Amino acid sequence: MAMYSRLPGSVALITLQNPPVNALSAAVRQGIVDTVQRALKDPKVTSVVICGQNGKFCGGADIREFAGPMLGPPLVPMIHAIEAVDKPVAAAIEGVALGGGLELALGCHYRIAHSKALLGLPEVTLGLLPGAGGSQRLPRLIGLTAALDLITTGRHISAAEALKLGILDQVTDNNVVDQAVEFVRRVAGQPLDSRRLSTLPCPCPPDVDSLLDKAMVKGMEKERDLLTTLFNSGQARALQYAFFSQRVVGKWSLPSGASWDNSAARTISKAAVIGLGTMGRGIVVALALTGISVVAVETQEKQLAEASQAVPAMLQREAGRRSLATPPGVISFSSNLQDVSEVELVIEAVFEDMSLKLQVFRHLTSVCRPGTLLCSNTSGLDIDQLAAVTQSPGLVVGMHFFAPAHVMKLLEVVYGPRSSPEAVATAMQLGKRMGKVSVAVGNCPGFVGNRMLKPYLEQANFLLEEGATPQQVDEALEEFGFPMGVFRMSDLSGLDVGWRIRKEAGLTGPGVESTRTRQGRRYSPLPDQVCEAGRLGQKTGRGWYQYDGPGGRVARSDPWVHIFLEAYRAEHGLVARSIAPEEILERCLYALINEGFNILQDAMAAGPEDIDAIYVFGYGWPRHHGGPMFHAGQVGLGRILERLQHHHHNHPDVPHLKPSTLLRRLVAVGSPPVQTWREFINKERVHSQL
């Protein structure tokens, strides 16, 4: 909707009304068309101001409408009509003018913004282009180079930058509507031709050839054609899905019925972090950047001394990089666990060893004051076991950060069977304050992200046994869109991490026979043998690849690995075959996706969006593929099922390839769209089908 009002004197005010961001829905577009007509017809009106309700000008086209047929007046002629009005029209920009919102403002003759407003053309992040004239008007206003930067990055810019670039006519700290009204009164009667951006020539740098000039003349047509292609592309659908899944996970719910809207969170102002290794240091910085005072505890003197040098430097660097709204919290370092007695929340980040973590939790529950939230940064150990040794198991949750913790966007908030809604709500809210995408997940080995990673890594190793090289596997995955293939990623993380976990699980180590079947299923001893050779990845300068030296970053193919693989295959009587990239993708990705279905079936994630957000924000899943579960829908659930059945038939000793019951059920009911799975799963659970 859009509201029309006549201000005292001769100014018409049009207010966009579509909370929360005044997106340009069909109703809003209709409202704009009607109110602009009304202003045109009213002889007493000499000028017009367009603003948005509730401190937000406009968040752009209504993304929800992209999924269906476009109804109501189209955006492009609506903006053209505003530009053609012969009374001055000004956009009064508060909050945001993004995408179609900025394009609407560019159709106005003048643009006045509040100093805190953000502007941008983020269509590219949704797989689109500024298809409401933005690709044509912006270059004509600020030149090709600056416009291309904004259009291709989709970045949001401040009002100050927009003023400097020439997008805005005025920036104010005062009431922006009042300023705009005053502005249009002043300019009423002045010629408007030079303010109609679509009619202006494009200022091009001298090196742009005449072909481009000609192309610009046909720009609006080109924009329309390209937008139509993009609208129908899978990438645009995936990016739009990713936008919404990021928001869906904030509206968490637990199987108990507790949820974001019925559970109160505590506001934390003082926290402690136990253990100052890489993860602990990052967590301290992430908390301090949020304005929280942190007690940073490390019992090993050498590690404490190093951390007390490194952490302030990290904090300073990161604070400098971001323009912080609040000053960073104070950090105090200590070697004494007793010093956490006054904090409201503790995050344990010691070595990934259950007996050590149990010891820390026993200690914490005796020194912390009653009511303190006790969190663990474990990447997959049992939260309930930790809760069991405390006096208040309800106040124990997992807060699983990803390295580097002050940079990576993902936080898994792990609730055990006894975690209280208040504890979950507090951890989720704290994550949000730290700028994380926080996802509530159930307590199972590896939680969601690492649980799905296991079959993915397993398949990658099996592919090496069968004839692939680490490069071939990595290239297939990187071609799909991962920033790093599985072996380059493992080298970066350190191969000893998984090795230790496998030793603890009794899968390898002294006394375990070196066979290719362990605990009743196929097992590849390859990664254990690489570790036994002292190759732990980048940190030792050797792993699945070779590097310039310990800590080297550039991966090069290593003849040692190829000789090692050949010897291994010969020892086990394996005949290397040529493996196509398609098989690599199917085996690695479909095994991972299958585990995603098992996780949904076990209610360890509330919906497919939660899994997809975890993979996009924590595991480098290419955003333009939406996430593993969205991708499954795009490939076709029937196809995924058929390929899993095929691979499971060929590898019956690999349980991870056995199609999940949920996948079968979804295929049986006709492969409904991913957005409906959550409801389907809940219904199936009620009727005990899962």
Write the single-letter amino acid at 97: A
Q: Which is nearer to ligand L2IWW6SD, 246 or 450 (CB)?
A: 246
- The token pair that represents 84 in the structure block: 């053609």
> Cβ–Cβ contacts within 10 Å for residue 541, how many?
16
- The token pair that represents 157 in the structure block: 């810019």
Per-residue DSSP letter, 197 = G
Q: Which is nearer to ligand L2IWW6SD, 67 or 505 (CB)?
A: 67
- Whether cis (ω within 30° of 0) applies to the bond prior to 581 is no
Q: Which is nearer to ligand L2IWW6SD, 243 or 564 (CB)?
A: 243
Q: Which is nearer to ligand L2IWW6SD, 79 or 414 (CB)?
A: 79
- Could you tell me the smallest distance in angstroms from the CB atom of residue 165 to ligand L2IWW6SD? 19
Query: Applying CB under 6 A, which residues contact ligand L2IWW6SD?
Result: 20-21, 23, 59-64, 75, 96, 98-100, 122-123, 126, 128, 130-132, 227, 244, 247
CA–CA separation, 300 vs 157, rounded Å? Answer: 45
> Cβ–Cβ contacts within 10 Å for residue 220, how many?
17
| Residue nearest ligand L2IWW6SD by beta-carbon distance | 99
Q: Which is nearer to ligand L2IWW6SD, 125 or 508 (CB)?
A: 125
| Active site positions, annotated | 103, 123
| Strand 118-120 to 170-172 pairing | unpaired
> Cβ–Cβ contacts within 10 Å for residue 359, how many?
13
> Cβ–Cβ contacts within 10 Å for residue 687, how many?
8
CA–CA separation, 667 vs 641, rounded Å? Answer: 8
The CA-atom distances, in angstroms, between 462 and each of 36, 218, 570 are: 65, 54, 15
Q: Which is nearer to ligand L2IWW6SD, 96 or 167 (CB)?
A: 96
- Could you tell me the smallest distance in angstroms from the CB atom of residue 102 to ligand L2IWW6SD? 8
Closest Cα to residue 627, out of 493, 448, 486, 399? Answer: 448
CA–CA separation, 686 vs 633, rounded Å? Answer: 24
CA count, 13 A, side-chain hemisphere, 121:
27
- Could you tell me the smallest distance in angstroms from the CB atom of residue 659 to ligand L2IWW6SD? 33
- Could you tell me the smallest distance in angstroms from the CB atom of residue 67 to ligand L2IWW6SD? 11
CA 384 from centre of chain: 28
**Which residues sit opposite 170 in a β-bridge?**
112
Q: Which is nearer to ligand L2IWW6SD, 244 or 480 (CB)?
A: 244
- For residue 206, give the 3-state DSSP assignment: coil
- Could you tell me the smallest distance in angstroms from the CB atom of residue 157 to ligand L2IWW6SD? 13
- Could you tell me the smallest distance in angstroms from the CB atom of residue 238 to ligand L2IWW6SD? 15
The CA-atom distances, in angstroms, between 290 and each of 32, 279, 323, 396, 651 are: 40, 17, 12, 22, 49
